[in-house]
Structure 1
């Protein structure tokens, strides 16, 4: 593995984005662990659901209908949703106010149960995420994939990023960079690729002192066809 130094990545991103100030203005910082722990369970479920529905469809279409999702699914309050029968879920999946997709709708009770289970062990789902070892963020991705529904691939990671959790994203730009460096030499979602990517980001974090989220964005801005000007 021939990981490029983060200083070189940063210099290239600065050049591509028109200077340090312009680059830094583009980079979003993650929330603190305390802030992550304070995120209510309903917002975790809402974020997971939004990203599940955005898979394979225009994100903007989902955003426009999102107020209807909030109304139909009780503002994503976990306990009321877990009381619904299968027949009630099927009825909700036919509601014309939302995007009608039974399989995606059925991810909601499954992910609600995952969140509910974490509450009993950690106090809340946010507490669990906040306490997750920062050097094993791909382990958290794997937890979401294993214990949730339709949260594999980048879906879980994008959900975490949306809520401000410190995580990198294997976007096409980041993945291509890691492949060019020889970090990834197998399928993106294999255990081998996950572990190698995690090690690379931890190395960059130790070199730069930056968060995984910041590093991920800067890597993307340093290469590829991203459209941010």
Structure 2
């Protein structure tokens, strides 16, 4: 396996592509500190989970426009209320014009509410659990969200975490292209071994740069292109800059 290029080289390429350091800095995502994650209420995490579930496969613009209606329909995503939603309540919500009336996605709300309540019972709060999870094993948190949550597999786990402010990298098409070019993986990663290889490389770039994974991920994407592909789509062709 060839040695991966340095993050500094990736960063310099991103700056050339986007017009300088200030331009790149303006495009970097925000990362919440542990105190902020802990201070965020469980209802807000359930709200973000639900927003991500409904965004998947829908125009995000539509979901954003309807979001005040979602908050009202689900009583501001109080976990106790949402966990108690029964079949009759689900049917009523499936006819509620304030929200996107997709019954399969609506049923994710009580299931994820029970997940949030279970975590809170064991860990004190969802925020405390997220804050304590080491970013050096963020793929482990992806697995837990997929296993214990509902409709939080694939890209949804890391997108939810990014929305919540938890530090995580994202395997967009551009990032995958960079990882393939650096011979970290040979395809869009899906197995535990492939994801572990990605985690290991991001950890190395974090050690080198002192930056959070979210910033490293975005810089990697900016150094490659503007394709914004999903992780399950073929990556665009990419060649490393010559030495």
**Cα-to-partner distance string for 1:123-153 (whole Å, 9 max, x where unaligned):** 0000000000121001000000000011011
State the partner residue of 2:76: 75
Q: Does 1:190 align with 2:224?
A: no
1:187 CA drift (Å): 4.6
5 Å matches for 1:1-229?
1-2=1-2, 3-226=4-227
Return the TM-score normalized by structure 1.
0.95
Gap change, CA 1:12 and 1:186, over 3 Å in 2:
closer
User: The residue matched to 2:208 in structure 1 has which SS?
Assistant: helix
- Cα distance in structure 2, aligned partners of 1:39 and 1:23: 28
Deviations along 1:149-205, one digit per CA (max 9) or x if unpaired, are 110111111111012111111111111211222212255332122111111100100
Q: Tell me if structure 1 keeps the 8 A contact 2:176–2:188.
A: no
8 Å CA contact 2:173–2:227 kept in 1: the answer is no
Could you list the runs of 5+ residues in structure 2 that have no partner in the other structure?
A: 229-243
What's the Cα RMSD here?
1.4
> How far 1:90 moved relative to its partner?
2.2
Tell me the TM-score normalised to structure 2 length. 0.89
* Alignment check: 8 A CA contact 1:186 1:192 kept: no
Give, in whole Å, the separation in 2 of the partners of 1:72 and 1:66: 10
Shift of 1:94: 2.2
Bigger CA drift: 121-130 or 23-32? Answer: 23-32
The separation in 2 between residues aligned to 1:153 and 1:83, in whole angstroms, is 27
SS in 2 for 1:12: helix
How far did residue 226 of structure 1 move? Answer: 4.9
Q: 1:22 to 1:46 in 2, by over 3 A?
A: same
Q: Distance in 2 between matches of 1:87 and 1:186?
A: 45
CA contact (8 A) 2:90 2:106 kept: yes
Structure-1 separation of matches of 2:85 and 2:57? 27
Tell me the number of residue pairs that the alignment of Structure 1 and Structure 2 aligns: 227
Segments of structure 1 that go 5 or more residues without pairing to the other structure are none
